Amino acid sequence: MMRDYELFGDLLVHDTTHRTNKYDMICGPFVGMNHHCMNVMFGCGFLLNERIESFVWLFRSFLRSMNGKSPQSIMTDQCAAMAAAISQVFPTSRHRLCIWHIGENSKKHIKGLRNQKDFLDIFNCLLKHTDTEAEFELYWTRMVTTYKCHNNSWIEKLYQCREKWCPAFNKDYFSGGILSSQRSETTNHSISRRLSKTAGLCDFYSSFVGVVSEWRSRENGEDVRCSQGVPTMVIDDIKILSHARDIYTIEIYYLFEAQFLKGASCYQECVQFEGGVYKYHVWRPEVDIIRHEVIFNVRELDIWCSCKLFTETGILCCHCLRILNVHCVSEVPNKYIMKRWTKRVLEDENAGIIPPSQCFNVPSSVWTLEITRKFQKLVVYCQENSEARKIFEQAVLDAKRKVEHEYGPIFFEGEDCDVESSSGVIKDPSNSRLKGSQVEDAISNIAGNGYLVHPMSGGSTFCHVRSNSNQEDN
């Protein structure tokens, strides 16, 4: 979990809506998003209450366990105590509010407005789809004017905290496009469905480990899938798409491809050119009510867009991709490849690896999982190269000999088999299994020597019989 947080800890989702049944304790999992857009677990804590000091203790404990690294964005529900604790413990992080909770709260506070025609359309647009602050203000003014809700107290409070929930005000902080805390709630659901009403903390721990193992298994499956194949491109012979397919995971490539296709439907207008720097207005007809500004430096391959999708999600927007395509840029510039989205994010030897000096201090289950993932990665990359296979097999044998020297012999399954890998011929093992008449002959010999075959054992269990003149002792 420490290693995953080192790689993917720029986004943290925390939710405390689940309670363990037996002790009524509050469960607070810390969840993130990995390079496949899947859930990844960073940790879990328990609280007896939802006071500010309790959340301060929980967040400080988590921060200490993660070597003091704070996330860029934290997604939570509308809990005032949690918000106060976040401002104390994570002062540099951007606190975001879950828009799903806001939508649910609106059902209680503005039920009448929600029933009015087209109100939900403009309200949902404000929650999810505004790209710039000017666009947000335009739609907000239109909403309060059309539906005469200037004096609604809940609407006023929502406007006052707009910087915590509106996407337009959070473009400078990475969030991976996440707008709700449902990733954490999904965790709670995955754990709670495994528990009974009388479950205790030990039962919870078993369920927690099961959920984490299930997530890791899916992640490993996606890693193998990305290493062994590539997705089909929607348009052939597009070099920048081909490059993106090579570097990104499959899930991220599809998101990149979707932005590229949106860019294909955009119009662009060059409004300024000076010193190798272009300024464009880019928009999609009949879709965008405002034109986005794109600035492109041809010499340095620097590009910036007013929609700020890259800083928010780590993927270039359709407006930038339109301009790069116009200028025949064949590859995604390195400065716009976010490592957390690439296939090779786990290959950095210095990122999150448990130092050798600390290997003795981690639980055996953690060490086993970590070393298994390393070996699986090596196997995948060696399987198509005969020289790499030899190096890998020799390294395994060397490690085996060193361990045997310290702790005694180790036997691998099938080690006695005579295998000629160079010719591809697999010979029979030296101790072959008896078949047919050979079994019958063996049974006769055994019975003749004073042993009796147990009738229910199928020939696998034997009972010795010692005969006396008057009795038989089994």
**What pLDDT sits at residue 130?**
86
How many residues make up the chain in this entry? 474
Distance CA 246, CA 253 (A): 9
Distance CA 269, CA 267 (A): 7
Q: Which amino acid is at 6?
A: E
**What pLDDT sits at residue 358?**
52
Q: What is the signed CA dihedral for 363, 368, 369, 370, rounded to 10 degrees? A: 90
Task: Answer positive or negative: Cα dihedral of 342, 345, 348, 350.
Answer: positive
**What pLDDT sits at residue 413?**
63
Q: Measure Cα distances from 207 to 29, 211, 212 in Å.
A: 13, 6, 9
Question: Where do the structural domains in the chain lie, given as residue ranges?
Answer: 2-98+180-216, 99-169, 239-341, 397-431, 437-473
pTM: 0.71
Distance CA 340, CA 241 (A): 19
Class of domain 2-98+180-216: alpha beta
Q: Which amino acid is at 111?
A: K
In 66-98, which residue ranges form alpha helices assigned H by DSSP?
A: 80-89
pLDDT tens track, the chain, 474 positions = 999 999 999 999 998 876 665 677 888 889 999 999 999 999 988 888 889 999 999 999 999 999 999 999 999 988 899 999 999 999 999 999 988 889 888 998 998 899 998 899 999 999 988 888 888 999 999 999 999 988 899 999 999 999 999 999 999 999 998 887 666 556 666 666 666 667 777 878 888 888 888 888 889 899 888 888 888 898 888 999 999 999 999 999 999 999 999 999 999 999 999 989 999 999 998 888 789 999 999 999 999 999 999 999 999 999 999 999 999 999 999 999 999 999 988 775 444 445 554 555 556 666 777 788 788 778 887 887 888 888 888 888 888 888 887 777 877 765 554 444 444 455 555 554 555 555 555 555 544 544 444 444 444 444 444 444 444 444
Quote the longest CA-to-CA distance of the chain. Answer: 116
